[in-house]
């Protein structure tokens, strides 16, 4: 079984769309080199509550194909508007480390205000975000710093992992691939 790391991100969507694209980009080590090896696609409900289930489904599909996932990285936990992924729940379900990556500190007040205004279950969504925000720590890598919140692993593991995955920019490669693929495919496919 190959040693692989997956990156999860969502794509572009416009007002009025009911679903957005979610992409899992799997990168594996071959002969000491990190190579992209698989893209898996699904959709999540805009402002829904299915991000955790969709992420689990994508990761299980990768595992069923024989891709030995070592960890899963997520580009924040906010997908398709305010569809909040629960990293603790995802880590528990999959039994592998989940590392939440932020490029910049979250805008806590603005996020809380938006949740209060638009969602009757805002407390549930905010509780997940607050747990992630409380865990965030800055890690310094040769290609730039990131904020990480690990679940099912310690900070030193998360630090080593994201730094090892920064090949060309400060974006870890599986997240960079997931972001680019999700953005391009969503614009090309349109409303889902």
- The CATH number for 89's domain is 3.30.2170.10
- 10-residue mean pLDDT series, the chain (192 residues): 89 91 96 92 97 98 94 97 97 98 95 96 97 97 96 97 94 97 89 74
Q: What is the pLDDT of residue 2?
A: 65
DSSP 70: E
Task: Name the burial class of residue 134, with classes exposed (0-12), middle (13-18) and buried (19+) by CB atoms within 10 angstroms of its CB.
Answer: exposed
Q: What is the pLDDT of residue 1?
A: 52
Domain containing 136: what range? Answer: 2-189
**3-class DSSP state of 185:** helix
Pairing of strands 137-139, 19-30: unpaired
Domain count, the chain: 1
**3-class DSSP state of 149:** strand
Q: What is the pLDDT of residue 188?
A: 86
Q: What is the pLDDT of residue 12?
A: 87
Instruction: Tell me how far apart the alpha carbons of residues 24 and 40 are, in angstroms, rounded to a whole number.
Output: 5
Determine the Cα angle at 9 with ends 56 and 178, to 5°: 105
pLDDT in tens, 132-173: 999 999 999 999 999 999 999 999 999 999 999 999 899 999
CB atoms within 10 A of CB 65: 11
Residues 6+ apart with CB under 8 A from 185: 11, 21, 23, 41
Residue appearing with tokens 């990156």? 7
Q: How far is CA 148 from CA 10, 42, 104, 118, 156, in A?
A: 18, 25, 10, 28, 11
């Amino acid at each position: 079984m190959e040693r692989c790391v997956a990156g999860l991100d969502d794509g572009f969507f416009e007002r009025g769309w009911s679903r957005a694209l979610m992409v899992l980009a799997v990168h594996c080590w071959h002969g000491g080199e990190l190579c992209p090896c698989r893209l898996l696609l699904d959709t999540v409900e805009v402002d829904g509550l299915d991000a955790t289930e969709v992420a689990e489904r994508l990761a299980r599909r990768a595992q069923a194909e024989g891709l030995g996932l070592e960890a899963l990285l997520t580009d924040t936990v906010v997908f398709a508007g305010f569809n909040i992924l629960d990293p603790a729940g995802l880590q528990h379900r999959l039994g592998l480390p989940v590392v939440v990556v932020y490029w910049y500190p979250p805008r806590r007040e603005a996020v809380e205000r938006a949740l209060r205004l638009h969602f009757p279950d805002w407390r549930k969504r905010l509780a997940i975000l607050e747990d992630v925000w409380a865990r965030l720590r800055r890690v310094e890598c040769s290609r730039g710093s990131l904020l990480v919140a690990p679940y099912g692993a310690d900070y030193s593991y998360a630090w080593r992992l994201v730094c090892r995955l920064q090949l060309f920019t400060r974006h870890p490669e599986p997240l960079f691939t997931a972001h680019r693929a999700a953005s391009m495919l969503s614009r090309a496919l349109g409303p889902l």
